[in-house]
Amino acid sequence: MAFKGTAGKSASGASMSKYDVEVAAALKTINARLDALEAKAHEKCEPTSTGDGDVATVVAALKREFTSKFADL
Q: What's the CA gap between 12 and 9, in Å, rounded?
A: 8
pTM for the model:
0.47
Q: Say what the pLDDT of residue 1 is.
A: 44
Q: What's the CA gap between 63 and 57, in Å, rounded?
A: 10
Q: What's the CA gap between 62 and 59, in Å, rounded?
A: 5
Residue 5 pLDDT greater than 80, yes or no: no
- For 9-65, how does the pLDDT look when each residue is reduced to its tens digit (9 = 90+)? 777 878 889 999 999 999 999 999 999 999 888 777 665 555 556 888 888 888 888
Strand 15-16 versus strand 8-9 pairing type: antiparallel
